[in-house]
């Protein structure tokens, strides 16, 4: 490594290591050489190597695992999985790009629950309303990316439909059942992020620095905008991207006021 005057030595080492990661010499998930080997490679001291590693760790390129060594983070080169958040309809049949995730990593958990401060506003309901919850751990068969999926079915909306007796269905199947019940469906989503709990980190196999993406999808009746069911998906933000197709909509007419302040 050629030494550049007037620039901190550990920054020069960090630049060289960053290039090695970028060109694939150290691919995502691989373990870096030891401090001693790196010091010999770059012709610097071990403390300088530690400073360079710390800088790259701050950038999110490296993970230091106690007792194991230093590893290139899997997200160093960007998300490994892009999930298309679209729904395709053919008659009463629906398909989503993640249908093949539903092969079942484990059996779903079905239980009764109630709307709370988060779910009640999304469903336009009061808190404490009865729902059926179906929790699943699902996975992308191609990349192995894991996600926690929850399907929330308000009893007042599914009563009299097969969902009341057999709630353990995929989202696409739930959409089909609602359509058969006479609903013309549309969807609205919102995405947020949070720090995962230790249990979420373990189940989803997230790194120590990974955040959690939380996606809320509300299935609604197009005619009256009534929310019918709610899905939540939790997955790692490092290795997963959400992709959306956005269609232009007609502008909503603006309300105006007359001279007396009446709404027109």
pLDDT of residue 264: 41
Confirm if 62 and 73 have CB atoms less than 8 A apart.
yes
Q: Is residue 263 part of a domain?
A: no
- Asked if residue 208 lies in contact with residue 231, where contact means CB atoms within 8 angstroms, the answer is no
* pTM reported for the whole predicted model: 0.72
Structure token digits, residue 121: 């506003």
What's 67's domain CATH number?
1.10.10.10
Is 214 a domain residue?
yes
Domain identity same for 35 and 18: yes
Query: Is pLDDT at 78 greater than 70 in this prediction?
Result: no
**Per the structure, how many domains does the chain have?**
2
101 lies in a domain? Answer: yes
Residues 6+ apart with CB under 8 A from 64: 53, 57, 70, 71
Q: Would you state the pLDDT for residue 235? A: 92
On whether residue 251 sits in a domain, the answer given is no
Q: State which of 72, 97, 121 marks the end of a domain.
A: 72
| pLDDT (0 to 100) of residue 237 | 87
Give residue for tokens 């053919």. 90
pLDDT in tens, 236-245: 987 788 998 8
Q: Report the CATH number that the domain containing residue 180 is assigned in CATH.
A: 3.40.1410.10
Indicate if 37 and 123 belong to the same structural domain: no
What region, left, alpha or beta, does residue 74 occupy, with left being phi > 0 and alpha being psi -120 to 50 degrees? Answer: alpha
Q: What is the mean pLDDT of residues 32-54?
A: 92
Query: Which DSSP state fits 187?
Result: E
Q: How confident is the model at residue 218 (pLDDT cuts 50, 70, 90)?
A: very high
Task: Indicate whether 208 belongs to any domain.
Answer: yes
Q: Are residues 198 and 94 in the same domain?
A: yes
**pLDDT score of 241:** 87
């Amino acid at each position: 490594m050629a030494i550049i005057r007037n620039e901190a030595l550990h920054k020069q080492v960090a630049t060289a290591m960053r290039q090695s990661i970028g060109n694939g010499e150290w691919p995502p998930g691989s373990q870096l050489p030891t401090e001693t080997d790196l010091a010999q490679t770059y012709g610097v001291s071990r403390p300088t190597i530690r400073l360079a590693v710390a800088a790259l760790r701050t950038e999110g390129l490296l993970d230091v695992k106690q007792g194991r060594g230093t590893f290139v983070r899997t997200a160093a080169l960007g998300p490994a999985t892009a999930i298309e958040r679209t729904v395709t309809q053919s008659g009463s049949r629906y398909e989503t790009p993640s249908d093949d995730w539903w092969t079942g990593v484990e059996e779903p958990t079905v239980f009764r629950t109630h709307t709370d401060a988060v779910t009640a506003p999304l469903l336009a309901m009061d808190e404490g309303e009865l729902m059926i919850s179906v929790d699943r751990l699902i996975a992308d068969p191609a990349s192995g990316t894991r996600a926690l999926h929850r399907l929330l079915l308000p009893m007042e909306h599914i009563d009299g439909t097969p969902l009341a007796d057999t709630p353990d269905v995929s989202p696409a199947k739930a959409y089909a059942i609602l359509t058969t019940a006479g609903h013309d469906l549309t969807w609205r989503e919102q995405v947020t992020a949070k720090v995962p709990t230790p249990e979420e980190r373990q189940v989803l196999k997230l790194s120590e620095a990974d955040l959690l993406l939380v996606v809320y999808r509300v299935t609604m009746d197009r005619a009256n905008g009534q929310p019918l069911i709610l899905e939540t998906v939790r997955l790692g933000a490092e290795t997963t991207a959400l992709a959306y197709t956005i269609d232009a909509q007609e502008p909503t007419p603006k309300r105006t006021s007359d001279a007396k302040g009446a709404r027109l």
